Structure 1
């Protein structure tokens, strides 16, 4: 379990830390802390417990209107302002001596959507978080993404962190071309996060999309796996439910075992970040979750 992580969102939650975090875990992924004291608690506990810190951008709540930076916006002013916000947060993180192993960003943002798919069950905080393919040409995607990769690679070296791109809703620009793999080859300090709940959801609502194909395509480049489950039938329910062996794919749950085995086949060094609601299950079930995933990775 030395590659396992838990998330801390909004604050450093000591009760969650005591229940969910185990002594040999790799670290904690932090996001949207509302109080600077919680940043200090995180740093102090990491030093005391000798574990690593990852950041799901941003570390602090309220530095921008939306959580996810819109670095691919078609609006040049928004794009420029986004990069300024990001760098200011990097400066803060360095000044507070957080020393994160990685900083993670949703990609692409805004997401580029296939208009033939119903995205009603995809959660967007704001209409500006998505744009349709007909509004965003492949050439523009390549140009703006190329700039992002170069910029993030440079900032990662300057501020001493690994940039990680968490794949959000995806369209043909990502899954039908080799462009992103080429960028990852050009900038090897940038890595990928595979979100298994998100992959399962798109697999169920988008007939052109294959979660397994995306896993095979990007597992070699993956640093972090966000692990949670969701049930997709006529309705979508139990988002961010913990992954448990009793949750069967034939009942609409994600085929977690299948996903994990494929990732392990290609990459034995991924970190598993449990992005689930552990409060929904008992201590016994939580231990079963950890043990099951650990066994799958052996």
Structure 2
């Protein structure tokens, strides 16, 4: 898959999309014309559409639905925003194969970690673990899973939750795995750059074990690379085999090996900035990922 964010970029589509790709993940489109262009391209080229909530740029400071807020009124508002989106997608006859939401929202932050370089749009986007118990986390997660399961049955889409910054409730407990087994309609998105960034910021977090723990529940992988030294060196870079972990790059080959072993049918959305490389390198990115995922590849 490729992404289209902010607008339907015809030039990006013609350069990045390949015959046989599953589809396009769209987010924050500005105009009705962008939506129409996406819909027309899907019909012409017979691909699926994934929606990264929200489909349209609604001008809100916080784009995500704060469905696990500590404030009951904000939770009601958040579920209402999603419901409005579902009704709008029905009106547009877009019929997305999946709809993706960031999770958990608000993000639950480990009090021990310095999160100063993590991007937040607003203070309401996060809460500290010391103010948010595991029991409350599981109660609100289950309520979310129940609601999304019902909506998925009514509207015909796969609900996908993309991990944002994570605390030990997710990576050091089996409780979330239990809920994912109970509510099988709910699937995950694992973002390679985001996971690696947390590993560099959080000494308690390891990205490869997290990938191993949750890959079996994934529906989509957001694939891009990040080079990190004393700070950010390169962001949203296409993955290539010469990007070595010793030079500050994410261990993409390890991630791909885990995914091949745990869930080879997962979708890959190339969430990179393809303009950072030439046409030959972009094709080499696609080919390397395909080769890494092939049965019998030894890594």
Structures share fold, TM-score greater than 0.5: yes
Pairing 1:43–2:23 present: no
Pairing 1:265–2:258 present: no
- Residue 65 of structure 1: how far off its partner (Å): 3.6
Q: TM-score, with normalisation over the residues of structure 2?
A: 0.96
- Residue 63 of structure 1: how far off its partner (Å): 6.3
The alignment partner of 1:198 has SS state of helix
> Which of 68, 71, 75 is the aligned partner of 2:71?
75
- Residue 50 of structure 1: how far off its partner (Å): 0.5
**What is aligned with 1:55?**
51
**What is aligned with 1:215?**
211
Q: Is the 8 A contact 2:4 2:24 kept in 1?
A: yes
**What is aligned with 1:195?**
191
> Which of 254, 260, 263 is the aligned partner of 2:250?
254
Pairing 1:141–2:137 present: yes
- Residue 128 of structure 1: how far off its partner (Å): 1.2
The 5 A counterparts of 1:89-238 are 89-238=85-234
**CA–CA distance in 2 between the matches of 1:264 and 1:47?**
31
- Give the gaps of 5 or more residues in structure 1: none
The alignment partner of 1:153 has SS state of helix
**CA–CA distance in 1 between the matches of 2:135 and 2:251?**
35
**CA–CA distance in 2 between the matches of 1:273 and 1:72?**
26
**CA–CA distance in 1 between the matches of 2:163 and 2:255?**
15
Instruction: After the TM superposition, list the runs of 4 or more consecutive aligned residues in structure 1 that deviate by more than 6 angstroms.
Output: none
Larger RCO (CA under 8 A, 6+ residues apart): 1
**CA–CA distance in 1 between the matches of 2:158 and 2:60?**
22
Q: Is the 8 A contact 1:11 1:33 kept in 2?
A: yes
Q: Is the 8 A contact 2:162 2:189 kept in 1?
A: yes
- Give the gaps of 5 or more residues in structure 2: 295-299
**Cα-to-partner distance string for 1:259-291 (whole Å, 9 max, x where unaligned):** 111111011101110000011111111011101
**Cα-to-partner distance string for 1:215-245 (whole Å, 9 max, x where unaligned):** 1111111110000111112112211111111
Q: Is the 8 A contact 1:58 1:67 kept in 2?
A: yes
**CA–CA distance in 1 between the matches of 2:60 and 2:186?**
24
**CA–CA distance in 2 between the matches of 1:64 and 1:149?**
24
> Which of 283, 287, 298 is the aligned partner of 1:291?
287
> Which of 275, 279, 293 is the aligned partner of 2:275?
279
Q: Is the 8 A contact 1:64 1:85 kept in 2?
A: no
